Structure 1
Amino acid sequence: MRSNKGSAGVDAVSMQEYDTNRSKYLYKQWNRMASVSYFPPHVKEVEIPKKDGSMRKLGVPTISDRVGQMVVKMFIEPRLEKVFSPNSYGYRPNRNAHQVLQKVRENC
């Protein structure tokens, strides 16, 4: 987030403010996730320009939500990778649609 200059979500909490009160935000996020009462907040919609001049809508989650998503990803992904089929490509790290097409060509 920091390297991409991640902006605030609908809660308007900036990276600087989040860093200043990090323990408060992390505790609140952990408490909600641990008690299974977490519901992600709404996503801020922004429009960014495309190369052709048109605009593309982009959803910006809150910083707390992005932190929570990354923690879950870092915790669960290594465990699930062990049980996935090697032929599974959907939403997998370091796998993409081009690899699927190559595998289909090989299998056919």
Structure 2
Amino acid sequence: MDELKASAKPFDISKQEVWDAWVKVRGNKGSSGVDGVSIEMFEKDLKNNLYKVWNRMSSGTYFPPDVKAVPIPKGGGGIRVLGVPTVLA
């Protein structure tokens, strides 16, 4: 597992942690966020896209993008706002 650890990066984030997070995101089967990138589109270049996310996170240059606000009607009246994050950071 040590070979998956970042070297000479300010944040110690393993590629395995990024992979595990991806598995959870994919498992949610959600819709695309404000960037319009679906899970299927992200998977077309999965290795490169996950590398980019890992590289940005471990180097400290990752900043989460805006979240898409989706109004969800509540059963008893009113609205709850659901935040849909982007897949491709």
TM over 0.5: yes
Instruction: State TM-score, norm by structure 2.
Output: 0.63
Partner residue, 2:58: 34
The runs of 5 or more residues in structure 2 that have no matched partner are 1-24
Select the structure that is richer in helix: 1
Q: Which runs of 4+ in 1 moved over 4 A?
A: none
Alignment: residue pair count: 65
| In the alignment, structure 1 residue 13 sits paired with structure 2 residue 37 | yes
**Structure ranking higher on relative contact order (CA contacts 8 Å, 6+ apart):** 2
Letter in 1 for 2:49: Y
Post-superposition Cα deviations, 1:45-81, rounded to whole Å, max 9, x if no partner, equal 111111123221111111246xxxxxxxxxxxxxxxx
Matches within 5 A, 1:1-108: 1-64=25-88
Give TM-score, length-normalised by structure 1: 0.53
* Distance in 2 between residues matched to 1:33 and 1:23, nearest whole Å: 15
CA RMSD of aligned residues (A): 1.6
Identity %: 54
String of CA shifts for 1:14-61, please: whole Å, max 9, x gaps.
011111121121111011011111111111111111112322111111
